[in-house]
Amino acid sequence: MELRPATRDEYEDFSVAVLSAFHRELTDADRERYQRIDEPERSLAWFDDRRIVATTAAFTRRVTVPGATVGCAAVTAVSVLPTHRRRGLLTSLMRRQLEDVRERGEPVAALWASEGAIYGRFGYGIATDQASLVARRPAARLTAPPDVSALRAGPAGEHVEAMRAVHERVRTERPGMLDRPGPWWQDRLHDAEADRAGAQPLRAVVTDDGYALYAVRPGDDDEGPAGEVVVRELVAATPAARAVLWSFLLDQDLTRTVTWHTAPVDEPLWLMLTDPRAVRRKVVDALWVRVVDVQAALTARAYATTPDVVLDIADAFCPWNEGRYRLAGGACEPTDAEPDLALDVAALGAAYLGGTTLRDLAQAGRVRELTPGAVDRTSAAFRGDAAPWCPEMF
């Protein structure tokens, strides 16, 4: 067997292997989409007698962290065919990929986990959550309905520049959000009919300070019209913009529900309604983060308070990270000093964006306090101003 990157000429075989592991077939829409964003030099595949049997890949992106943005390997296309599982192929793919990420100088990697039990053993930790929102009409009404006359709405592709400007304003302030260079806005608006599940084409509604991407899925039942407004993304730079966008989305005729399954956990819609119970909220894990270079990653981000703490990091999978680091004055340096906290790299990745707290991780037995008070003061330092959120899967 051979482990190497797949070439552009092997794109078809690589894609078929990935999608078949997820019980899907490669479509023409998939080909068009993936060829647009593909970085074949960042792929890896196991070949068995010239047949691709296991895969992984990464996109070159930047992710916002508290106070900065850093290079990020957006890991995708992780698969092993059923005929080749339990042979260590995935472990070797993950190790080789993280070595490559380190060589590229990217401090972190990130992914969306199809199964929650897989990636912790490779050092990934749950760094963001997301809220699944279901608002019921007509009960979901804003307490102070705004004037929506300045809104512009229409096919999503007609409003890209307006949305791009708002996204760029907001993403530099919200940990977990990714930049969208080159083809990434086109990818975000990808709207193959086969993927709509009965919804109409993607539309956008925009203001100077916000936008929403949405589609309407028509429907009827014994009680009458029962359509659904499906929100793909809502980004607002101001509370006023958020109110205007929600007022529009909650006022679509012939619909009964408004759903958004990738909302930030701190989305305040329920606080904006006359009846807070008119929206149901469910929280699930979202982006997983892997710290690839502890020193670079901890130096890059800002802190809510000035920490002076020695961390003892365990990382058997990437041994270059193993050891003690002093985090003080905004810098992180290796040290031989006695540690204040002991944790593994997966716990560090979970806390890195400022969402999952070191205090909660300590309560779960994932962080050991070696100096009294170290958990609380370090946890406070790692917290960000906003809950981290990644609106797009990759």
> How many residues can be counted in the chain?
394
Determine the angle formed by the axes of helices 28-37 and 11-21, rounding to 10 degrees: 110
Lookup result for tokens 């990636």: 119
Q: Which residues contact 174 (CB under 8 A, 6 or more apart)?
A: 64, 264, 386, 388, 389
Indicate if 394 belongs to the active site: yes
CA 208 to chain CA centroid, Å, is 25
Q: Of these residues, 14, 124, 303, 394, which one is catalytic?
A: 394
**Separation CA 385–CA 252 (nearest Å):** 33
Q: Quote the CA–CA distance of 326 and 328 in Å, as a whole number.
A: 6
- Of the residues 59, 119, 211, 317, only one is catalytic, namely 119
What is the rounded distance in angstroms from the CA atom of residue 230 to the CA atom of residue 134? Answer: 10
- What is the C-alpha radius of gyration for the chain, rounded to an integer number of angstroms? 22
Quote the CA–CA distance of 152 and 206 in Å, as a whole number. Answer: 5
Is 59 considered catalytic here? no
Give me the active site residues, please: 119, 394
